[in-house]
A and B are shown apart, each in its own frame.
Chain A
Amino acid sequence: MRGRKGMRRSKWLVNTVLAIICVIWTIPTLGLLVSSFRPAADILATGWWNVLPHRDWQTTEQLQLPKDTDLRQPIEVSGATYTDDQLRAGVVADGERLIWENRRARTINVQEKSWTFISRFTTQNYETVLGGKTYSITMPDGSTKTEKGSGMSRSFWNTVAVTVPATVIPIFIASFAAYAFAWLRFPGRKTLFVVIIALLVVPLQVALIPILRDYTSLGLNGTYFGIWLAHTAFGLPLITYFMYTSISQLPKDLFESAFMDGATNFTIFSRLILPLSVPALASISIFQFLWVWNDYLVSLIFLGSQPEVQVLSMNIANLVGSKGNDWHLLTAAAFVSMLMPLAVFFALQKYFVRGLLGGSVKG
C-alpha cells in the first residue's frame, strides 16, 4: 500500500494536469473577450496577450539625427554605424535597441526592455456592432476609416422572436403527445412511438429540400412562423421522448384519484402533470432554447439574411464573410451572441446537465 505522502503527491499531480487542461480550454474564449474590448488599431498591431504583464521594449530616449542624413549611406548613431534596414527592423546593442521613430524626420528611439502591459480598452466595438449608424475608427497606420454598424441589436431581438416561440411551441405539443403516449390508450400508439424513437437521430438535411419547396409555394420562407414550425418539427422527437420518460414515471394513483373527482384529461394535464413536470420541462426547455439560439443551418435555409428577420448567427456569419479581418467587429459580435447562452448556462447549469443526461441525441 502506498503511504499518505504518495497520495498527496498524486493529488498534486492530478490538480496540476487538470489546471493546465482548464487553462488551455479557457484561453480561446478569454482571447475573444479581451480582444473585443481593444481598439481596432491595437488588435491588428499586437497580440491580445500583451494586455498581460510582459517584458517589452520601452522608449527611454529619442535621438534627433541631422535632417540631411543620407539614408543610403551607413548611418552613424552614438558612435556606431548602422544601415537603414537595420534601423527599420531595430538593432540591439548592450541591452538597448535602436529603431526608427520617424524615418522621414530622422528621429530614432532608444529603447530598453522593461515590464509593461497594454491597458487601452474601449467599448467602441460593441457600439459599432450593436448599432446601425456609421462610425469612424483609427487604423494602425494612423489613417481613419468609416464603417457601418452591423445592426446586432436588431438581430438580437429577431433571435428572441425566433427562439422563445420555437422553444415554447414544441414543448407544449410534445408534452400533450407524451401525456397521451404515457397514460391514454388508443390504436396505433406503439407504432407511432416507435416512429418517434426512430426519428430521434434522423439528420435534418434529409428533410430540407422538400420542406423548402413546400415553404416556397406557401410563402413561408423568410417568416418567423415558418422557422417556428421547422424548429418545432426538428425538436419534437427528442422532446416527446424526454417528456414521455418523465411523465410515464408519475404514480398511477395520482390519475385515478383525479378521475374519481371528475377531472377531465385536459384539466389533469394542465393542473397536475405540467406543475409536476417542471424540472423536466426546465431541462428540456434549456436544451431546445440553446439549440435554436445557436442554430445556423435552419435559419440559413428558411429565414435568410434580410435585416428584418436575420438572427445573430446569420449576422455573424455574414460579418465573417464580408469583414473577415475586422477582428474588432468580429470579436464583439461573437461575444454579443454568446451573452444569452452563457447567462442561461451559468444560471441554470444544474437543469442543463440533467437535460443532457436525460437524452442528447438529436437530428
Chain B
Amino acid sequence: MEMRASGGNALRLLLITLLVPTLNIAVQWVIFLFFRDADLHPIVKAILAVAWGALGIYFIYYSLNWVVEQYPDRWKRRILPFVFIGPAVLLLGWLLVFPTLRTLYLSFFDAGSANFVGLANYAAVFTDRLLVMALRNNLLWVFFGTLACVGMGLLIAILADRSSFEKLAKGLIFMPMAISFVAAGVIWKFIYYYQPGQEQIGLLNAIVVSLGGEPQAWLSMVQPWNNLFLIVILIWMQTGFAMVIFSAAIKSIPDDILEAARVDGAGEVRIFFSIMIPYISGTLLSVTTTIIVFTLKIFDVVMIMTGGQYETDVVATQFYRQLFMYQNAGYGSTLAIVLLVAVIPVIVINLRQFRREGGF
C-alpha cells in the first residue's frame, strides 16, 4: 500500500517537474507572440510590457519553487539552490559565456565564417591600416582619457573637500554621468560646430574668433588632434565618477593623522603626497582600472560624433563597421577578442581581490 502511494507520488512529481517548466515556456512564448504582433498604442504597450516583464519573472520563480516544495525534504534542499541560480546561470551561459567561446572560434575563420584561416585575422589586426589606426586611437583614449579623468577627479575631490559649497560643486561635476553618450555627443557637437565664413555659433569657434584666431572644423580637419576633442567628452562625463569615489576615500582618512602632520609643520603638498596618496592607493588603482576598462570599449561617442571617419575609429566602432558594413565576421570577432585580452589583467586583479577579501 505504502509502496504504491510513493510510486504514484513519484509519477506525479515527475509529471509536474516536466509540465511546469514547459508550461512556463509556453505561456511566456504566447505572450511574446502577442506583443510582437499586436498593434497597440505605444503607452498601452509600454505599460503592458512593463507588467509582463515584472510579473512574468515572478511567476516563473513562484511556480518552480512550488514544484520543488512538492519534493521530499531531503531532495528539496538539494534542488532548491539550482532553481534559485538556474535562470541566472542559463542566461549567463547562453548570452555571455558560450558566445565568448563562439567568438573566439569565429576569430579563426574568414569573413563568411566558412574557411579556417588560422591566425590570419590576428595578423591583420596589426597590419591592416584601418585596424591599426583603431588600435592607436584606442591607446590614445585609454592613456589621455584615464589620466585626465583620474587627475581631474582627484583635484576636484580635494578642492571640494575644502570649499564652502561642496555639495553643489559635486552635484554639478557629477551630473554629466547621468546622461547618455548620445545626448553628450549632441551637446559637444554643438560646441565644436563650424560654419564656414558666417558668424560662429559653436562655442569653441566663437572663443577662437574672439581671440583673433581662425575658426576650424575641429572634428574633421585637425588630425590627429580631433581624437583629443572627442576624449574631452569622456573626461567631461567620467571625471564625476572618479571624483565621487575619491571624495569618499579622502573623507575616510582619519582626521588625527592629518592633524598630526600639520602640527609637525607639513605643508599641503607634502600631506598630499605622503599621506593622502598612500592612504587612497587602493581606491586610486580600482578607479583607474574601472575607467580603463570603460574607455577600452568606448563606442557611442565616436559613433555619434564622427561615425569613425576622419581617422577617429576605435576598436569598438571598427568592430561594428567590420560586422555590419564590410560583413566580415572574422575581423569583427578578432577585434572583440582583442578587447577581451586587454581586460584579462583586470579580471585577474578582481579575482585576486576577491580571494584576499575572504572569498567564500
- A binding-site residues for B, Cβ under 8 Å: 1, 11, 14-15, 17-19, 21-22, 25-29, 31-32, 35, 43-49, 153-154, 157-158, 160-161, 164-166, 168-169, 172-174, 176-177, 179-181, 184-186, 189-190, 192-211, 214, 219, 223-225, 228-230, 232-234, 236-237, 240, 264-266, 269, 290, 293-297, 300, 312-313, 316-317, 320-321, 324, 327, 330-331, 333-335, 337-338, 341-342, 344-346, 349, 352-353, 356-357, 360-361, 363
- B binding-site residues for A, Cβ under 8 Å: 32, 35-36, 42-43, 45-46, 49-50, 52-54, 57-58, 61-62, 65, 69, 78, 80-82, 84-85, 87-89, 91-92, 94-100, 102-103, 106, 156, 159-160, 162-165, 168-169, 171-183, 185-191, 193, 195, 199-203, 206, 236, 241, 244-245, 248, 265, 289-290, 293, 296-297, 299-300, 303-304, 307, 316, 319-320, 323, 329, 332-333, 335-337, 339-340, 343, 346-347, 350-351, 354, 359-360
* B93 → A minimal CB distance (Å): 9
Give the number of A-B contacts (CB < 8 Å): 344
Q: B69 — which chain A residues lie within 8 A by C-beta?
A: 264, 266
Interface centre among A18, A25, A209, A230 (most CB of B within 10 A): A18
Which of A17, A189, A228 contacts B53 (CB under 8 A)? A228
Bound CA–CA A320/B45 (angstroms): 27
Contact at B173–A25, with CB atoms within 8 Å? yes
Contact at B201–A181, with CB atoms within 8 Å? no
Chain A to chain B contacts (Cβ below 8 Å), 25 pairs: A1-B265, A14-B163, A18-B169, A21-B173, A28-B236, A32-B187, A158-B46, A168-B53, A173-B87, A177-B89, A192-B89, A200-B347, A201-B343, A203-B296, A205-B297, A206-B99, A206-B337, A209-B99, A209-B106, A233-B96, A266-B62, A294-B183, A297-B300, A341-B178, A346-B171
Bound CA–CA A179/B88 (angstroms): 12
Q: Provide the main secondary structure of the chain B interface.
A: helix
Bound CA–CA A233/B337 (angstroms): 19
Q: B177 — which chain A residues lie within 8 A by C-beta?
A: 345
Contact at B46–A206, with CB atoms within 8 Å? no
- State whether A211 and B190 are in contact (beta carbons under 8 Å apart), knowing that A47-B203, A197-B354 are contacts in the complex: no
Which of B62, B103, B160, B350 contacts A201 (CB under 8 A)? B350
Contact at B340–A202, with CB atoms within 8 Å? yes
- State whether A25 and B89 are in contact (beta carbons under 8 Å apart), knowing that A165-B49, A202-B100, A356-B244 are contacts in the complex: no
Contact at A320–B173, with CB atoms within 8 Å? no
